[in-house]
Amino acid sequence: MKGDQSLSAPAHPRWLALPLVGDVDGAAAAHVESLIGGEASPAFIAATTAMVVECSGIVRRQAEAFRRGDVLTQFAWMLLPEPNLLLAGPIATLYARWLPPTDSQDDSIAAACDLHVEREGEVVLSFLETASGPALHVRYRPVLPIGGERVVAEHRVVLWPRHDDYMTLELSFFSLATGQDERRGDPLFELARSIEWVVE
């Protein structure tokens, strides 16, 4: 990838940052303790910490597989049902991907989204303004076989292509709760708007 980059995302009450490097167990324990320490039993804190560590492990294993394809996992967050309510939820992951200089916007979308799977409805594209400039939002609903049934899920991706820097930033969010967040605002857009990405 070209140039040095810096990334930051301010804290958000609906998004729990998942530790991905270093002492993951210790970081998870400290984070959980800071949120619910003194308000929950030691058993609940331990179980919640284990849940955060498990979610972090899932992302870390995916990150190792993606690294072989020139995709670097930068951050990951778990969506909470309510601010500071520590229950397991879907995960949003921020990736940096090498972008060949000949790639188009369609190529960027194809790299981030599996549009060849069976899906319900059309692929919906929109744009939003963020701290890192204009971004492209892609939403589609893949149909997945789960437990012998066909389940409609939702995959949303926010893309920041930087063709001059030969890279793109991708915020990927996969959920089985299709349309849930529109009723209470859109925490994915709030997260995307807060991300600051600078390439030098």
Does the residue 166 lie in any domain?
Answer: yes
CA-to-CA dists, residue 59 to 45, 80, 112, angstroms: 21, 17, 16
Domain-located, residue 41: yes
Domain assignment present for 85: no
pTM, full prediction = 0.87
Task: Provide the 8-state DSSP code for 182.
Answer: G
pLDDT tens, residue by residue, 30-78? 888 887 777 788 888 899 899 999 999 999 988 887 776 688 899 999 9
Is residue 117 a contact partner of residue 124, using CB atoms and an 8 Å limit? no
Q: What is the pLDDT of residue 64?
A: 83
Residues 61 and 99 in one domain: no
User: How many domains is the chain built from?
Assistant: 2
Tell whether 53 and 106 lie within a shared domain.
no
Same domain, 117 and 195: yes
Residues 59 and 95 reside in one and the same domain? no
How far apart CA 133 and CA 46 sit, in angstroms, is: 40
**Residue at 111 is within a domain:** yes
Residue 83 in any domain: the answer is: no
Same domain, 163 and 95: yes
Say if residue 92's pLDDT is above 80.
yes
**Whether residue 112 is found in the same domain as residue 164:** yes
Same domain flag for 35 and 112: no
User: Which range, 57-71, 85-99, 171-185, has the best average confidence (pLDDT)?
Assistant: 85-99
Q: Do both 182 and 124 map to the same domain?
A: yes
Last residue of a domain, one of 69, 99, 133: 69
- In degrees, rounded to 5, the angle at the alpha carbon of residue 152 between the alpha carbons of residues 147 and 158 is 125
Whether 31 and 60 share a structural domain = yes
Q: Could you tell me if residue 81 is inside a domain?
A: no
Task: Kindly state whether residue 80 falls inside one of the protein's structural domains.
Answer: no
Per the structure, the complete domain to which residue 49 belongs is given by 13-69
Average pLDDT over residues 164-187: 75
Residues 55 and 152 in one domain: no
Q: Are residues 61 and 94 in the same domain?
A: no
Tell me the two tokens of residue 55: 């979610």
Q: Tell whether 101 and 173 lie within a shared domain.
A: yes
Arithmetic mean of pLDDT, 131-158: 91
In a domain, 96, yes or no: yes
Residue 193 is encoded by which pair of tokens? 């708007």
